[in-house]
Amino acid sequence: MKHPPSVKYAWSFLSELIRKPSGDSITLCESTAIISHGTTGLVTWNAALYLAEWAMENPAGFAHRTVLELGSGAGLTGLAICKMCRPRAYVFSDCHSHVLEQLQGNVLLNGLSLEPNVAALAQHPEHDTADAESPRVMVARVDWDVVTVPQLAAFQPDIVIAADVLYCPETVLSLVGVLQKLSACQKDQRVPDAYVAFTIRNPETCQLFTTELGRAGIPWEEVPRHDQKLFPYEEHSEMAILKLML
């Protein structure tokens, strides 16, 4: 207060502070509580950052393809892929009503338009060209325990992803169940590729996941680790991404 910086210095400092970054940006509305409204899906977890970072390092795997995300949560991973990886279409999905409401808001907040249903998602062939500026996007309610193979097949996914959904044995069993259903979904005589990212909090839960994959006859392999350079992770934690051969 006694010796304030010059107006020129203050102006230069503020100009540098608010300068738009060279890349695209993502804006999110999130809960301030880890658990809110009985769900953990209203905040972004580390594996979502990790998967988004990996996707942006491997955009060719998503370009001009239809992506189905299971348990989208706040939507950061999907928004990053939509903005940086040029998918043909992207389906955010979750089950909790508050999560779905927040998801829809975050999609709109980032300048993307929402398709009202699966039928609309399959229309607009002009989006199938490489020149499409943004993907077709929808937010869908998908309950892993009750969704049917025809309902999943209607999304016509080329690739399925999920992040930080291995937090208890019950969800592991439900996830493997929906992955089995997705293995019956064929598009052009091909089943979708699948990637699951997770934070290794409880090794027993991770072991249960790979064990159940084996019982379901779903082979898997670990994706090579990548540097965590882009996002500010809340804490140091071990993360992994598994590629599943459905």
Q: Domain for residue 1, yes or no?
A: no
Length of the chain: 246
Question: Rounded to an integer, what distance in angstroms lies between the CA atom of residue 14 and that of residue 55?
Answer: 33
Q: Domain for residue 34, yes or no?
A: no
Taking residues 140-166, report their average pLDDT: 96
Q: Identify the pLDDT of residue 41.
A: 64
> 220: which residues sit within 8 A by CB, 6+ positions away?
210, 213, 242, 243, 244, 245
Q: Domain for residue 10, yes or no?
A: no
> 123: which residues sit within 8 A by CB, 6+ positions away?
none
Here the CATH number for the domain that contains residue 56 is 3.40.50.150
The mean of the pLDDT values for the chain is 88
Q: Domain for residue 140, yes or no?
A: yes
Please indicate whether residue 167 or residue 136 has the higher confidence score (pLDDT).
136
Q: Identify the pLDDT of residue 129.
A: 44
Question: Rounded to an integer, what distance in angstroms lies between the CA atom of residue 177 and that of residue 162?
Answer: 14
Q: Domain for residue 175, yes or no?
A: yes
Sign of the torsion formed by the C-alpha atoms of 122, 176, 144 and 165: negative
Name the token pair of 156: 């016509």
135: domain range? 40-123+130-245
Question: Rounded to an integer, what distance in angstroms lies between the CA atom of residue 206 and that of residue 100?
Answer: 27
Q: Domain for residue 218, yes or no?
A: yes
Predicted TM-score (pTM) of the model is 0.85
Asked whether the beta carbons of 199 and 241 are under 8 A apart, the reply is no
Kindly report, residue by residue over 68-109, the tens digit of the pLDDT: 999 999 999 999 999 999 999 999 999 999 999 999 999 999
Question: Rounded to an integer, what distance in angstroms lies between the CA atom of residue 216 and that of residue 212?
Answer: 6
Q: Domain for residue 21, yes or no?
A: no
Angle between helices 203-215 and 169-182 (to 10 degrees): 30
Please check the confidence at residue 20 and state whether its pLDDT lies above 60: no
Q: Domain for residue 96, yes or no?
A: yes
What confidence tier does 208 reach under pLDDT thresholds 50, 70, 90?
very high
Q: How many domains does the chain have?
A: 1
Cα radius of gyration rounded to whole Å, the chain: 19
Name the token pair of 95: 């089950």
